[in-house]
Structure 1
Amino acid sequence: MEYEFRRNGLDGSVMARFSMEHEVMGRWFGEELGDKPTAAATVLKAISAIQAGELREWRVTGREFSLELDEEQARVYANVLGYDNQDELDDGMSLYDAELEASCGLEDLEAALKSWQAFLVETR
């Protein structure tokens, strides 16, 4: 999983770009974690608890995206995937799940979160 973090020079907003199959992770980092170091710390704490066997799973629902952790993986997905009335959509208008959902190993997410925290500190 490859990623790159940037800060917008005009307004100071943060953004993350992840490799093609993990694009939604970049949106989750930028939109849900944002420039709040405590948000990443909360997820890192949950990862540690899962790795220590204190938790079996953990979930946080954000404005646009949610994160689910279990003993094997992390999954980020757009909240719109919970839309129950997809049957009502016209042909060709179905939601494209591949751009709205991605999974990775806990260790990979942990490394990315630590890099994100370092990026936030370095670019303040």
Structure 2
Amino acid sequence: MEYDFTRDKDGRLTAELSMGHEAFGHWLNSEKNAGLPLLEEIEQTIAKLQSGEIREKQFVGTEYSLQLSQDEVEVRANHLFYADDYQNQEEQDEALSNDDEQSFAACGLDDFSALLSEWREFVERYA
């Protein structure tokens, strides 16, 4: 998983991730208003997952939700949770295929932990 963090001339911090992982960047960008307290809580959750204290945890944000387990992390746009509102599977597949790359991504817990740690350092340095 490759990523790049930038700060534009207006001071906005953004994360861009490689193909297949773009949703993690969108999650970081949309949930950054929650700030360092959220990052700290997620890092504590990762430690609990790695120690076996808990098996999974979900964080529901304004636009994206994050599901952490002992092996994997998934980020999913909240609108995907309402896919059952579609009349049939064909309508659901069509609606979801339009923005799959930006709506869902998954990676290993260790990779996500590294991403989160580097993002936190970046935010602390430039916020």
Q: Compute the TM-score of the two structures, normalised by the length of structure 1.
A: 0.89
Superposed CA RMSD: 2.0
Counterparts of 1:81-100 in structure 2, within 5 Å, are 81-83=80-82, 84-87=84-87, 93-96=94-97, 97-100=100-103
What is the number of residues matched between the two proteins? 123
- Alpha-carbon shift at residue 92 of structure 1 (Å): 8.6
SS in structure 2 at match of 1:25: helix
- Alpha-carbon shift at residue 95 of structure 1 (Å): 2.1
- Cα distance in 1 for partners of 2:124, 2:12 equals 14
- Alpha-carbon shift at residue 45 of structure 1 (Å): 0.6
Tell me what 1:8 maps to. Answer: 8
CA contact (8 A) 1:16 1:27 kept: yes
Structure 2: which 5+ runs fail to align?
none
Q: How big is each residue's C-alpha offset from its partner over 1:36-84, in whole Å with a ceiling of 9 and x where there is no partner? A: 1222111111010000011000001001000000111000000000112
Q: 1:104 aligns with which of 83, 94, 107?
A: 107
Percent sequence identity is: 34
Tell me what 2:60 maps to. Answer: 61
- Supply the AA of the counterpart residue of 1:14: L
Counterparts of 1:42-53 in structure 2, within 5 Å, are 42-53=41-52
- Alpha-carbon shift at residue 14 of structure 1 (Å): 1.7
When you count helix as a share of all residues, which structure comes out higher?
2
- Cα distance in 2 for partners of 1:4, 1:32 equals 17
Tell me what 1:38 maps to. Answer: 37
**Distance change in 2, residues 1:3/1:87 (3 Å):** same
**Distance change in 2, residues 1:44/1:93 (3 Å):** same
- Alpha-carbon shift at residue 87 of structure 1 (Å): 2.5
**Distance change in 2, residues 1:46/1:90 (3 Å):** closer
- Cα distance in 2 for partners of 1:95, 1:87 equals 14
Tell me what 2:124 maps to. Answer: 121
Structure 1: which 5+ runs fail to align?
none
- Cα distance in 2 for partners of 1:20, 1:8 equals 22
Question: Which structure is higher in RCO with an 8 Å CA cutoff and minimum separation 6?
Answer: 2
Counterparts of 1:72-87 in structure 2, within 5 Å, are 72-83=71-82, 84-87=84-87
